[in-house]
Structure 1
């Protein structure tokens, strides 16, 4: 009777263990930590099972098979998860290694805009890739970030150098405008020929001076054009007229060579047509820009300057063609 009583007690213990395991959701764990926590619960139940004695013969085998099937199911699922996760980790490692190689290939690039966009895309792609095995995680991340930092540190240094150079150019061009304003002032008593020579030298220096900060470009260019225009009027500098006179003298000297004049005329006709096409393109494109925005206004003004320059060139070329026609 005592043995039977112990067996019934053991039957209740083993039944409770089976029910405890059956209450667990084996499909729920999705991380190593969750699987480890559930594994601990299963192992504790197995230890309790071992401590419990036999249940009645008619139920003992059934209980054992029930408990064993539950444990086998759990460990089978765990093994499958770990196998699948291991494969995913390997795939993720391969993808991240590929991104590292791409970033390393770009690290020394000097195409700053294009490469910046490319590396930003690599960084976005990195975020979409899942984790890798912990033993590789830190190393692969350090490799990737090192390549990215190498490029951006170089870009930062170059941009710093560029900004310093632009500031130096800005100071130079402001000084040129200041000196031109002095020549243009009513108080200036410099002889005309000397003033013209100084103006030409300052204009040459302006052309040779590099870029200035973009936000200063238009304002500086407007100030320069204004003072140069004032000086051209004041000093009666007729560059185009002088160049046209030189051209006419050259054509008159070649008046006896009709072949040479015809070839020059054909060249000028092609050049004139090319500029007319460029002018037409600018006129068509003007409608695509919004001059109300800061950038749009800057683009429109730049296009207007180019259009005016093209019109002047077309007029000059047309005048040259007329000069040739009068000498053929």
Structure 2
């Protein structure tokens, strides 16, 4: 059977890993933060705060809602098993991926401060954001199924489990699409070969490997979420305890300096207390800042300490502003944006208030530096969108080329094999072309699948018809085998030999048979034919024993000539070579199918003549005499007649060439001049005359043979 196909369809397998994990606020914490960006000035007050003098310690975007208790993630080990009976559920897996795709674009509707607040809010329950950014972005669309599984394994083995959700979702999406394509291709082949669709079953080792890695990932993620929940609640308890201690400072009867030092220690503990559950975030932060401001009101009794704190905070905030302005000059906009996030976090969570007279001024400076980076990032994202649009144009062009190939009227196996190679190259180009706008992604993918499916259906239809032809060809070849085997022992060589040659020619014209039978029938046919022709050759050798003996003798002389070594006595060497030549001539004719030995003999002579420095014309005549000996046959002079006609024709051609050269000399005024062109013509004439003389000598030799 001819190999039907080495091309994967571009459709997806109707099989999927079903994610039955209940919706989990912790898992989605990176994108479900509610951001309020309605206020961007630092000095606005916080609700229920009695004294607004120090309200800048919470930027207007402090009211991020990080709500949502951490729920325990339940993972069913069976949820990732392949279920070929429900293969149409593939799209169910992508519900948790949509929020990750183009996540950088979701903040474009916010102002420059709101975008920073939104980015920081994503990290409010997770301190591994920096590591998440360090993960190299890979175009998973360009990877094969095996490469996707390998990349998945590397991520799970080498990265913190909470940092890889986005690449895992991308890998899962690409794997499902490509596996679905493989599944549908195998099913279509099964049906085209006569199978019933309801009986189709396909299970791949690569799918099993993916499921194993996916279960490992979900198990580790579940463990991480449980541990995270415990840590968040512990941090919450710690922060509430710190607030209670700050509240108690107001009523402590001790030296104000001691109280202030205790307050600074509590602030330092607060900075390192770690993340807390979202649903407590706003209340806890507002409560903390409220009691911090009450404490600063209490410090009115000692303005020196408060002014010293204000001064320190002002100096630190100016350093932050300077660094933010420097970030606006670096080329790596993503790096600048991530560091700007950190600066906003420091400004908001670590640095306290400044004197009211500087408050608006430094906030406006910081906001202006933030806007520079924000605007650059917006330009970068816009350019990225344009790149996606360009990729879409490239992929549309690839789809058009696939459709054009699918519409070709291909009539033979070689044509289809060429088409398969072209489609495979276009598939590879499609997968490596890069991302397209999200709004066009599914449509582009569907068009690609449809185009490749159209080609595959036409290809499969051709090979389905070809199978029938191959079985017909098999029967024809079996008939020829029977003829060959029935006649291989025949002694009527005159009648059977043309028959055997005829069926060999018929065999060549029949065409392909099923691959599983190809070698078997060829060996049968070849064996029968070889058996007959070996018998024929043995009989011919027996009839032409004298000729074959002559061949054996010439073969021995050829070996002797090949091993001939020159001495310092050239004349003696020439004599020995001539003796070998004379012996060669005396042996006589060889079978027609062995006359190639004459050419081998002359070729060896050429090498020896060059070493002996024998005149080329003389050497040519010696070799020619050997040739004439092989052509001579008293009973049939046709070979000599043909050779004589050939030499006469060559003589006429050379004479015509000499005449042409002599005519060319007439175009020069002085045919005896030193003009290089004139000299070159004279050389050619002399050379042609030498060649003419050699051919005339050959003609004389032929005449002597009659």
TM-score by length of 1: 0.49
Max radius of gyration: which structure?
2
TM-score by length of 2: 0.26
| Greater relative CO (CA pairs within 8 A, separation 6+) | 2
